[in-house]
Amino acid sequence: MTQRVVVLAGGLSHERDVSLRSGRRVAEAMTAVGVEATVRDLDSGLMPWLRRERPDCVVPLLHGEVGEDGALREILELAGTPYVGSTPAAARLAFDKPIAKQVVSKAGIRTPASVTLPADTFREVGAAAVMSALVERLGLPLFVKPAQGGSALGCTAVHAADALPAAMVSCFAYGPVALVEQMVAGVELSVPVVGSTDSAEALPAVEIRPDGGVYDYTARYTAGATEFVVPADVSELVALKCAQVALTSHQALGLRDLSRTDLIVDADDEVWFLEVNVAPGMTETSLVPLSVEAAGLDLGELMAGLAAEASSRGPRA
């Protein structure tokens, strides 16, 4: 019997367009291997539609808060619909970058020193004094990003103290909490992980070389704006270390099916954890499809396999 899969994409987050592109690509790849895959947007009719149509599985590819904070997965479980991806609790852990950093740090993974600041506290305590203390404690350069969110929206590299105020304003435009990190210089890599906690496998690391030096929204989603090297141009030992960090992060956070861990390798070949994504982009310039291809796998077959496994375990396994 043909597998009936619904790819959820779109939504109302800042990353709607990226999500739609991801959804279309995955649906096309699955259709090419014999899956009956359709793309559906998120709206108020979703739950009754799922209960009426009863697809074999849902692949959530909504980016940003709605798709990655665990809430959508709770809805799918309420609807009794199997889905590909991490449980609601694990998704919440991964989506909150400061908490994810704490979890992986306790698992022995190195991650840049950081401070987490809600916008209200930042303003009420005195923004100027707080920024001065940030620079004093963490030094320069810094990297400012929303504590929740993706696609590098609201993210800024800060090389001078007088650039910090604008970076904070930009960050708070995309979320109420800022994560301010020491910026580690080095090679930026991303490692997808496929599988459940006890049988996960790291795929080849993708090295990211943005033309402008910063892997921002434009560099991520404009064809030709970034050079991707896969497998990454690092030693075999460093590649193994990156794979192990990604696997350990996946397991420590209790993730399943698919995740993507973003890393920095410094001049001493030390690997630093930045963040992990439970609904990674699947567009024509996204990292996971590049890694899948480098591993000699077919994206459609991989996603069809994950969907079949999700269908067999049911909505709440």
- Give the model confidence (pLDDT) of 226-244 as tens digits: 889 999 999 999 999 999 9
User: Which listed CATH number (3.55.50.30, 3.40.50.970, 3.40.190.170, 3.40.50.20) goes with 4-85?
Assistant: 3.40.50.20
**Mean pLDDT value of segment 20-41:** 96
pLDDT value, residue 12: 79
CA distance 148 to 92: 10
Mean pLDDT of the chain: 91
pLDDT value, residue 214: 65
pLDDT value, residue 130: 92
Report the topology of domain 93-110+185-297.
D-amino Acid Aminotransferase; Chain A, domain 1 (3.30.470)
**Mean pLDDT value of segment 220-231:** 79
pLDDT at 317 over 80: no
**Mean pLDDT value of segment 253-260:** 96
Tokens of 150: 């993706």
Give CATH 3.30.1490.20 domain extents, the chain. 114-182
pLDDT value, residue 220: 63
pLDDT at 213 over 80: no
pLDDT value, residue 16: 87
Q: What is the pTM of this model?
A: 0.92
pLDDT at 157 over 70: yes
Give CATH 3.30.470.20 domain extents, the chain. 93-110+185-297
pLDDT at 18 over 90: no
Q: Does domain 114-182 have CATH number 1.20.210.10?
A: no
Question: Taking Cα atoms as reference points, which of 152, 185, 170, 196 lies closest to residue 267?
Answer: 185
Question: Taking Cα atoms as reference points, which of 285, 278, 216 lies closest to residue 246?
Answer: 278
Which letter, b or e, does each residue of 47-84 get, where b requires 16 or more Cβ atoms within 10 Å of its Cβ?
A: eeebeeeebbbbbbbbbbbbbbbbebbebbbebebbbb
pLDDT band at 27 (very low <50, low <70, confident <90, very high): very high
Of residues 267 and 196, more confidence is placed in 267
pLDDT band at 150 (very low <50, low <70, confident <90, very high): low
pLDDT band at 151 (very low <50, low <70, confident <90, very high): low
**Mean pLDDT value of segment 154-168:** 93
pLDDT value, residue 39: 97
Of residues 237 and 67, more confidence is placed in 237
pLDDT value, residue 154: 85
Strands across the sheet containing 36-40: 36-40, 4-8, 57-60
